[in-house]
Amino acid sequence: MNPATTPSSEPLSQPQSRPHPAASPLNRRRFLKAAAQVGALLAMPQIVSAKVLGMDGGVAASERIVLGGIGIGNRGSYDLGCFLQEPDVQFVAVCDVKEARRQAVKKRADDKYGNHDCATYRDLRELLARDDIDAVLIATGPNWHFAAATLAANAGKDMYCEKPCTKNIAQSLALAATMRRTGRVFQAGTQRRSLPNFAFAVHLAQTGRLGPLRTLYAQPAGLKAIMSGWLPPEPEPPKEEVDWDLYLGPAAWRPFNKRELDGFNFEKGGGFMGAFGGGGCLEWGSHCVDLCQWANQTDNTAPIEYEPTGNQLHARYANGVKLVLRDDHWLPLGSCPVRFEGDTGWVETADNGDIAASSNDLLVGRGPKIGGYPADFHIRNFLDCVKTRAQPRANADVACWSHITCHAANIALFLNRKVTFDPKTCMFIGDEQANRLRSEALREPWRA
């Protein structure tokens, strides 16, 4: 097999193309410093010129974006660091149901600004009621993402919301509808949309450089359940320490158990029982499937068929392109890989920033390597859009359909059979069981 010319989906132990001469990984700041030459900017996601937005030579306090944080744990702390490095952001408040986290974030913000001004809240509604806050970072566990985003939009806040953003198809549609209705700027935390290696691979797919597209591959990181259940009760801590009722939020009630306190996994993907958690499919699917949607220029729709096949899931778009979710047979390019295959070529990339392709010619103009999937480009895009009111790269409509695709795949996996989906009506065709899984009641008093 000649790797320079032949598309392949066979397992491989080594990249088929010689590694591109590697630049050292860059984050946005180092990149901008290094990118004095015009050419280096070619393959980069576009950033609105600071001078357009009145940031030339500093930012007046009145022009800063006043930010609050909701649910700032591990991932949130990373995101917050990206926000804090932006000169036009003033972080003023943190909300978390856990006291230790509230205090840790307050200390970080106060240390940065040299004051004691960062306010702490246990209940997100109190933070959202503040008139002075323009935008919020939502980095709770996935159980809360949709409900918090809805509350934030209804309170007139823009938001950067970690993924997965929704727990089911109905929530995905409601999220997009709410952002449209309220006119809020919503950016899903799918930061790979703003990274040059993924953007370059997508560009190859969209511009016909691979020939007519045939198959898209995405890694979901586990086509299996992540359980959320009803564990044996344990003594509930004081509300000031951990507010269990607020932690549960829209999830159905269950007694306190500290093993449930890992917000990362709690109720991910719907938290269904038995074999259906959807966490795996949503965990990386919300990134990798999202990139496939982008490559296929199907940001406003979803595949029409989904079928579990062995340890993979095969889906098919109305335009005939196939989407394969698989956890193996990837080149060693890092986490969250995607691969796009057309009639005349293929490209594969992942989190180490390298790009492998069927031909080195395809790699001309690929731009600098940025490994380690930093979020700062994506967060800058969000902040720019807060000012311009434009739609960010991973806006609510984009997130809506990439999440619907993941949820529909989960439903096929749960039912362990093929399902057929109509993206116009967002219904499964002639399939009541699947249709019932499109939504789930929120616990009182929460609602969409």
Q: Which is nearer to other proteins, 49 or 309 (CB)?
A: 49
Q: Which is nearer to other proteins, 379 or 396 (CB)?
A: 396
- Residue tagged 């630049």 (tokens): 23
User: Which residues 6+ apart lie within 8 Å of 61 measured at CB?
Assistant: 90
* Encoded tokens for 53: 């937005």
Contact status: 104 vs other proteins (CB under 8 A): no
C-alpha 435: how far from its chain's center? 25
User: Least Å distance between CB 74 and other proteins?
Assistant: 28
Contact status: 125 vs other proteins (CB under 8 A): no
Q: Can you name the residues that pair with 81 across neighbouring β-strands? A: none
Contact status: 332 vs other proteins (CB under 8 A): no
**Cβ atoms of residues 303 and 313 within 8 Å:** no
Contact status: 399 vs other proteins (CB under 8 A): no
Sheet strands side by side (includes 135-138): 119-121, 89-95, 65-70, 135-138, 158-161, 186-188
Q: Where are the beta strands (DSSP E) in 185-311?
A: 186-188, 213-218, 305-309
Closest CA to 216 of 396, 337, 332: 337
DSSP secondary structure code for residue 242 in this structure = B
Contact status: 272 vs other proteins (CB under 8 A): yes
Interface with other proteins (CB under 8 A), residue total 62
The Cα–Cα gap between 100 and 215 comes to 47
Contact status: 391 vs other proteins (CB under 8 A): yes
The Cα–Cα gap between 282 and 277 comes to 9
Q: How many other β-carbons are positioned within 10 Å of the β-carbon of residue 40?
A: 16
Which positions from 8 through 67 interact with other proteins, judged by CB under 8 A?
A: 18, 21, 38-39, 41-42, 46, 48-49, 51-54
Which positions from 368 through 387 interact with other proteins, judged by CB under 8 A?
A: 387
Q: Which is nearer to other proteins, 52 or 100 (CB)?
A: 52
Distances (CA, A) of 168 to 20, 164, 446: 40, 10, 16
Q: Which is nearer to other proteins, 22 or 253 (CB)?
A: 253
Contact status: 424 vs other proteins (CB under 8 A): yes
What character string, x for contact with other proteins (CB under 8 A) and - otherwise, covers 174-203? x-xx--xxxx--------------------
**Cβ atoms of residues 393 and 45 within 8 Å:** yes
Contact status: 324 vs other proteins (CB under 8 A): no
Contact status: 319 vs other proteins (CB under 8 A): no
Contact status: 438 vs other proteins (CB under 8 A): yes
What character string, x for contact with other proteins (CB under 8 A) and - otherwise, covers 227-266? --xx---------------------xxxx-----------
- The contact set with other proteins (CB under 8 A) reads 18, 21, 38-39, 41-42, 46, 48-49, 51-54, 154-156, 169-170, 173-174, 176-177, 180-183, 229-230, 252-255, 272-273, 364-365, 387-391, 424-427, 430-433, 435-447
